Amino acid sequence: MSETRRGASRVQEPPLSAERAGRFPRRWMERVLPVVIVRRLRDRRVRIPLYAAAGLLLAGAAWIAVTGLLARNELLAAQRSLEALRRQHPATAAATPTTPTATAQDAVRSAAGHAARAHRLTTGPAWFPAAHLPVLGGPVRTVRGIAEASDRLTHDVLSPMARTVAELDSTGTDDGRHLDLSALRRVAPLLEQASRSASGVRADVDDLPHGTWLPATDRARTELARQLDRFTPLTHDAAAAARLLPSMLGAEGPRRYLAVFENTAEARGTGGLPGAFAVLRADRGRLSFEYFGNDIELSKAYADIDLGADFDGLYGPGAPTRTWVNSNMSPHFPYAARIWAAAWQRHSGETVDGAFGLDPGAVSGLLAASGPARLRDGSVVAAHNIVDLSERASYALQPDFQRRKAYFLEMARAVAFRLLGAATDPPRRTALFSALHRQLGEGRIKAWSAHSTEQRELLGRSFGGALPEGSAPLAGLVVNNAAGTKLDYYLDRQLVWAPGRCFDGQREVTVTVRLTNRAPVRGLPPYVVQRVDAPRYDTRPGDNRLLVSYYASAEATLSGATLDGRPTQVSHGAERGHPVFTLDVELPAHGTRTLVLHLLERPGDRSPIVLRQPLVHPLRATVLPNGPCVG
């Protein structure tokens, strides 16, 4: 009962009087704050400015929140515009030749407008001081930086590149059969500036905070950096092309090039076995083919050149300078190109100014833009069937060796003239050049120049086909067919690079290579499965044999290797400063072999460059995170 009375007493207690209500906050402030501050706060002249300051802070925070949300929407709209541009397909562009350039310019203008509004929304008296607050200002600075970078990207990089494409697309010549090199020279400064701006934007994004208290802004910065990592090299390539193409296309006099078609059904270091070839002439932008031939014609031609002791040590048994079909065993394309040029000179007495290598995958991408080619029998060679036709079906359709070689030559001639026609046809030219750039970037088209100034430029580009040189970490899987089969059409490759612990100034690295032969055990033409290596052990139709080479980072050493879980011995060599470990592997039909290499490499926080040998099926590569050594 007493508890009830006490509770009732509490419930019925009268409210605080005005005097007590005034004393309560003062007593609380006196406990928490110094007396001087409390007295100041009682002063109305002090309270009003403080309240005003607090109001300004709240208003600034609200302003940043609202404008930040609006800026986010603008950036998403800009991203959608650019995504629509990226999704444009060459085949669509070729079907509607007047649309691509106009659509690209509209998309870039739209993205630029959205990015500019996002930049304006994130500037001003509220954003600047907030971005410089310790700790709390990290996300604000990141958002401001993303908006500014997007604005610069669209205005200083994408807009001039779109204008460049429009200008090149609108120029032409009286006969319409050659490229306007003067227009290319006019746009070169624009592309140079766009390339420099892209590098500057990428550097500024990298300077933004990498880890803040707001994960969403960190993810946005990471995604923008990833997109710039893909895009910036493209601007460098475009600027390099503007510098190189006028001279390479004969602005100062006629040029001749050897174009070699590589058959990736039989693997070689640069891609596939060198088969059909053509001599391409360029004279003041006018392109023409002077000659077509095949590998049989050059089977006895050789190149009297010295590529060094390392090259001989690795590839000497295959005699690449004296055997045309083994001339590109090294993944370093300039070696193959020099051999091709020297062999052609010995065979024909003619010098060439450079060489190109391309495979059916590259031709497929180009035919998607140019449209199909037709053979004399009315059959069509198009983007969707050229890989299968040239690397699988033709061996069944043309079982006779001589007729098949003639068929390949006719196919090469028809495709070459189809692409040449598209290159000199203004409505299709933009789509074709876009497709060409993609194939160059993927390494399916490689270029070498006999002129030293041009070649130095090419070495730094993806389409130079150079094996990286120097201290940059490398993970390179390269296979060469050692059986003489055409079974690499069915080859799957997987590479996993995994860094481990550190000790004594070295890092453990485990490289796992899985090779799978998906060739059927029956039904393949004899020429596809024939074994010219004459093995001393029993084989079945569909079994294959590969020389498997791993190109490691400079100064790497091998501490052990296993094949299918059993210890194995590998041979050691070197190329362009990189250790090379090679193993002869028999790969049965429907079989998988697993090679594991245990390496010791110099520690570093950079991920390795993955060497991607272009074959029918792309390499599946996994590179695990490589952080700084702590042990």
User: Who wins on pLDDT, 451 or 521?
Assistant: 451
User: Who wins on pLDDT, 284 or 102?
Assistant: 284
Long-range contacts of 451-460 (CB under 8 A, 24+ apart): 451/247, 451/353, 451/354, 454/244, 454/247, 454/248, 454/354, 455/334, 457/240, 457/243, 457/244, 458/244, 459/334, 460/240
Question: Mean of the per-residue pLDDT values for the chain?
Answer: 87
pLDDT, residue 167, reads 77
pLDDT, residue 466, reads 96
- The DSSP call for residue 503 is E
Question: How far is the C-alpha of 573 from the C-alpha of 577, rounded, in Å?
Answer: 10
The answer to whether residues 582 and 614 touch, using CB atoms and an 8 Å cutoff, is no
Which residues contact residue 396 at a Cβ distance below 8 angstroms, ignoring those fewer than 6 apart? Answer: 525
- Give the tens place of pLDDT for each residue, 162-179: 888 777 766 655 455 678
Which residues contact residue 434 at a Cβ distance below 8 angstroms, ignoring those fewer than 6 apart? Answer: 90, 93, 100, 369
Measure the N-to-C terminal CA separation of the chain; round to a whole number of Å: 72
Query: What is the longest distance spanned by two Cα atoms in the chain?
Result: 122
The answer to whether residues 360 and 391 touch, using CB atoms and an 8 Å cutoff, is yes
For Cα atoms 512, 311, 450, give the angle at the middle one, nearest 5 degrees: 115
Average pLDDT (546-556) is: 97
**Closest C-alpha to 515, from 481, 539, 484:** 481
Percent of the chain with pLDDT over 90: 65
Average pLDDT (40-63) is: 66
Secondary structure in 3-state letters for 131-152 = HCCCCCCHHHHHHHHHHHHHHH
Question: How far is the C-alpha of 83 from the C-alpha of 4, rounded, in Å?
Answer: 72
Amino acid at 170: S
**Closest C-alpha to 486, from 528, 516, 545, 526:** 528
pLDDT band for position 423 (50/70/90)? confident
**Closest C-alpha to 498, from 630, 631, 622, 628:** 622
Count CB neighbours of 375 within 10 A: 14
User: Who wins on pLDDT, 334 or 27?
Assistant: 334
Segment among 28-37, 319-328, 533-542 with least mean pLDDT: 28-37
The answer to whether residues 474 and 468 touch, using CB atoms and an 8 Å cutoff, is yes
Question: How far is the C-alpha of 231 from the C-alpha of 195, rounded, in Å?
Answer: 10
The token duo for 341 is 């040029």
- Give the tens place of pLDDT for each residue, 577-597: 999 999 999 999 999 999 999
- The percent of the chain in helix, strand and coil, each rounded to the nearest 5, is 50, 20, 30
pLDDT, residue 630, reads 60
pLDDT, residue 118, reads 93
- Give the tens place of pLDDT for each residue, 199-224: 999 999 999 998 899 999 999 999 99
The answer to whether residues 399 and 525 touch, using CB atoms and an 8 Å cutoff, is yes
- Give the tens place of pLDDT for each residue, 362-417: 999 999 999 999 999 999 999 999 999 999 999 988 889 889 999 999 999 999 99
Amino acid at 552: A
